[in-house]
Amino acid sequence: MGGHCPPLQQEFKDPMLQERKSGASVFIALMALAALVCFALALTHWQSSDPVKFACYLGAALLASSLKVSLPSIEGTLSVNFLFTLLGILELSMPETLLIGLASTLAQFYWRPARRPKFIQLVFNLSQVTVSSAAAYGAYQLVATHVLHGPGPLALLVAAMTHFAFNSTAMSAIIGLTESKPVSKVWTESYLWSFPYYMVGAAIAGLVHFLNGHIGWQSSLLVLPPIYLMYRSYRLYLGKLETEKRHAEQVSSLHLRTIEALALAIEAKDQATGEHLQRVRVYAVELARDLGLTEDETEALRAASVLHDIGKLAVPEHIISKPGKLTPEEFEKLKVHPIVGAEILEQVDFPYPVVPIVRAHHEKWDGSGYPSGLKGEAIPIGARILSAVDCLDALASDRQYRKALPLDEAMLKVASEAGTSFDPGVVEILQRRYVELEKLAREQPLQAQPKLSTDIRVERGLAPAAGFAESAESAREVPVKNHAAIIATARQQAQALCDLCQEQGGSFALEDILSLLAVRLKHSVPYDSMAVYFSKNNVLVPEFVSGENLKLFSSLRIPLGEGVSGWVAQNHKPILNGNPLVEPGYLNDPSKYSTLRSALALPLEGSTGVAAVLALYRARQDAFTQDDLRVLEAFGARLGPVIESAARPMAAAIGAGAQ
C-alpha cells in the first residue's frame, strides 16, 4: 500500500500540542534512522540477477503509482504499487525491492499532487515504506527458510500481512500524533478496510510468480490489467465511503443547525446568555479533553454547554430576568427547566448523550441538587463538568441581581464548593487551568446571532379569533393574620393622604403629594433613600428623590426593563430586597456616596398602566421584610391613581401592554 501522510502544518500553541509535536518529531526521527539502517544493510549486499526484469518491474511500479485514490477521513492518498513490493519479495533481491518501493513512493508523491509535499512528509513516507518493505522481505525469508524450508503461499501471506501491519500502523501513528486523533480510530477508519486488498494482492503476486516459473518473467506484464481492476475497485469502494461520509456530515450539520436554532431561542428569552454560553462551551470542552472523555462524550458536552438552559423557554420571562432574589414560588417554577430542557432535546435524536447532561446539570456532588437528587459519580461526567464551569462563568459575569465578581474571587467560591456542590476532580483541574481557559475563551470570536424581531409592532390583525378578553385588575391577596394592625394603619394613612389631595383639588402639585408620601412612609417603612420614577420615552426618570445620595439618584436614567426599577415597571411586579447596584448609572463609590445594599420597588398602577415606580433603598443587606412590602402595597393601591392624575401633564403613563 503506497499511502502517504497528510501535511504536517499544525501550529502548536499550548503545552499539550507542543508535547504532541515533540512526539511526532521523535517518531519520524526513529523511523528515518530505522530506514537508513535497513537501506545500508541492503546496499552492502547489492545483487541483481536480471537487470532487465528489475527495470520492467520498476517501470510497471511507477505506472501503478499514478493510480492513486484519496483516503477517507484524512488528507492522504493510496495506490496499488504494494503489489510490486510483493512481487519483488518473490522475484528480486532485497535492495531491488527497496528501490522499487522508494521509486514508486516518490512517483506517488509528485504525480499530480493536490499540494506540494513538504520535506518532512517526504522523509517520513520514504522511511516508513523502506521499513515496511524490509520487514515484509525479512518475514518472508524467515518463514520460507526456517518454517516451511522452502517458498510457499504461507510465507507470501505472512509477508503481505507484515507489510500491511507496519505500513498502516506507522501511518496511523503519525496522523494520530499530528492531528490529535486516536491512533486506533485513524487505523480503523482509514486503513483497516484495505486489508482484504492486501490479501488479493498477495494472491495476484503468487499467481504471477507461478506463471514466471513456467512461462517466464515476461508473464508479469499480465499483472497490469488486474492492477487496474484493483484500482477501480478502490475507487468504487472509497466512493461509497465518501458518500456515506457526506451523509454523516449532513446529519452532523443538521444537528449543529438544530443546536444553533435552539440556542437562538434561548437568546430570544434571555438576551444576557449569548456570550456566557460560548464561554461555557470553551471551558467545558477543554476540561473534557483533560479528563479523557471519549469523542462522543465530548461532542455531547459541546452541545449541552450551549443548550443546557433551553428549558427556560417554559419559565415565565419575568422570573428569568428578575433583578432580585426569587420567591419560593418563583424558584419552584425555575426548577423545572432541566426537566423541560431534557424533554425538548429528546425529540432531536442526537447521536451522542446530550439529554442526560442537560437533565442533570443542576445536580450537586452531595446529592442536594435538583431535579433527581443524584449524588457523586451517579451524576453524568458531562453534567459535573458543566455545572462547575457554568457556575464559575456566571459568578464572573454581570447578572440582573448583582455585578460580576473578579475571576480569581469567583474561582475561590467554586473551589470552596468542591466536594459539596461540585466534583472535586473537576474543580482541581479547573482551578489549575482557569486563567489559561479564560484567555482561550477571550480569543474565541463571539458568534453573532441574528437579531430576532421581538420588539416590532405588527400592524395587521384586528383581533384574535376568540375575541378580546375584558380588562380586569388582578385582585391582590393581602395576608391579614398577625399583620392586620400594620396593614390597616397603612391603609388609613394612604386614604388620609388621598382625601387631603382631593380636598385641596388641583392646588397640590405632584411634588407636594410625593413629599407627604415620603414623610408618612418613613414612619411605616424605614428607608435611607427614596425615589419615584416616571416614564419618558421608555426611560424612567426620577421626578422625586429624598434621603441619602440625592444627587446620584437624581442623575439616573433607567431604560424600561433594566435594573430593579426598570424591571418592576415592565413586569408590573414588586421586588423585595433587590440589589441597587444594578440600577443603570448607579455609581458604587463609597468615597462619594453611601453604599446601599437593599431595594424595595413597587409599581404604582394607574388607570392605564404603571403610573410610576416607587423605590426605597437601605444600606443594610436584606433590610426590607414582607411586612414592609405589604405596607408599601397598601399605600400604592390608593395613591397610584392620584399620582397618575397629578403627573399626567408632565409624563405619559407606561402602557398596560408591557405586561
> What's the CATH code of the domain at 62?
1.10.1760.20
- Integer-rounded Cα Rg, in Å, for the chain is 38
How many domains, in total, are found in the chain? 3
Q: What are the C-alpha distances in Å from 603 to residues 399, 567, 570? A: 22, 10, 9
> What's the CATH code of the domain at 358?
1.10.3210.10
Q: Which residues contact 312 (CB under 8 A, 6 or more apart)?
A: 266, 269, 270, 320, 334, 337, 341
Q: Are residues 206 and 330 in the same domain?
A: no
- The pLDDT tens digits for 549-585 are 888 888 899 999 888 999 999 999 999 988 888 888 8
pLDDT on residue 654: 42
- Give me the domain span that covers residue 119: 15-223
- The pLDDT tens digits for 39-65 are 888 888 777 777 887 887 787 777 777
Q: Are residues 419 and 522 in the same domain?
A: no
Give the cell for residue 389.
464551569
Q: Are residues 559 and 432 in the same domain?
A: no
Which comes out higher in pLDDT, residue 59 or 445? 59
183 falls within a domain: yes
Q: Are residues 208 and 299 in the same domain?
A: no
pLDDT on residue 265: 66
6 falls within a domain: no
Which comes out higher in pLDDT, residue 477 or 73? 73
Report the relative pairing of strands 598-605 and 609-618 from DSSP bridges.
antiparallel
| Helix (H) / strand (E) containing 491 | helix 484-504
Q: What is the mean pLDDT of the chain?
A: 78
Provide the sign of the torsion angle of the four alpha carbons 584, 588, 593, 594, taken in this order. positive
Of 159, 191, 223, the last residue of a domain is 223
Select from 297, 313, 583, 282 the least CA-distant residue to 436: 282
Does residue 13 carry a pLDDT above 50?
A: no
Does residue 473 carry a pLDDT above 50?
A: no
Does residue 174 carry a pLDDT above 80?
A: yes
Distance (Å, rounded) from C-alpha 489 to C-alpha 419?
51
pLDDT on residue 479: 46
415 falls within a domain: yes
Distance (Å, rounded) from C-alpha 596 to C-alpha 563?
14
47 falls within a domain: yes
114 falls within a domain: yes
465 falls within a domain: no
Amino acid at 474: S
Q: Are residues 388 and 502 in the same domain?
A: no
How many Cβ atoms sit within 10 Å of the Cβ of residue 592? Answer: 10
Q: Are residues 300 and 437 in the same domain?
A: yes
Q: Are residues 535 and 603 in the same domain?
A: yes
459 falls within a domain: no
Does the pTM of the predicted model rise above 0.85? no
Among 94-108, 138-152, 505-519, where is mean pLDDT lowest?
505-519
- The pLDDT tens digits for 223-241 are 666 666 666 666 676 667 6
Select from 405, 336, 333, 328 the least CA-distant residue to 576: 328
> What's the CATH code of the domain at 626?
3.30.450.40
